[in-house]
Amino acid sequence: MRQVLETAGRWEVLEAMNGEEAIAKAQETRLDLIVLDLAMPRLDGMSAARRLRKLQPNLPILMHTLYWSPRIEVEALKIGVRKIVPKSESNAIVSAVMELLRPEPAASDEMPPPAQTPAAPLPPKIMVLQVERTPADDETPEIRQAKPK
């Protein structure tokens, strides 16, 4: 995932091995986007998203999961995940990241800022939590129920 994102865009990609590490890094670093897997060790993607949402309410969260289902998508959107990309549609991850990093349009009634010499933009920072193994038996019952047969 890191290689795909770094190759596709001018993004600085950080990695975390689990949800707890992601939360710690999100508190230490200014992030522009987080990509979470649903099935992660130590803290699953839903729990990590809930905690991240409380820490940084405006931080876009994208979930990239093997265990996509309409029920999981509804739950993820309720807790503040902005977009879900099933791993079966991995080719859509780059466009989803680009969509979530697109700046919000300015309100038309706001005064434009005074003219300044623009600073060189910093590359957006993305943190990726991606599990490349089959989840252990300690996964949540909701995840077990959502597995394809």
Residue 67: CATH number of its domain = 3.40.50.2300
Q: How many domains does the chain have?
A: 1
Give the pLDDT confidence score for residue 6 in this predicted structure. 81
Whether 111 maps to a domain, the answer reads: no
- Arithmetic mean of pLDDT, 104-119: 55
Residue 142: which domain range?
A: 2-103+122-146
The answer to the question of residue 113 being in a domain is no
Residue 117 inside a domain? The answer is no
* DSSP conformation letters of 52-91: HHHH-TT--EEEEESS--HHHHHHHHHTT--EEEEGGGGG
pLDDT tens digits for 59-75?
A: 999 998 888 889 999 99
Is residue 108 in a domain?
Answer: no
DSSP state letter for 126: E
Percent of the chain, pLDDT > 90? 29
114 part of a folded domain: no
Rounded alpha-carbon distances, angstroms, from residue 143 to 20, 60, 83, 100, 148: 18, 23, 18, 25, 10
Strand partners, 125: 12
> Is 50 part of a structural domain of the chain?
yes
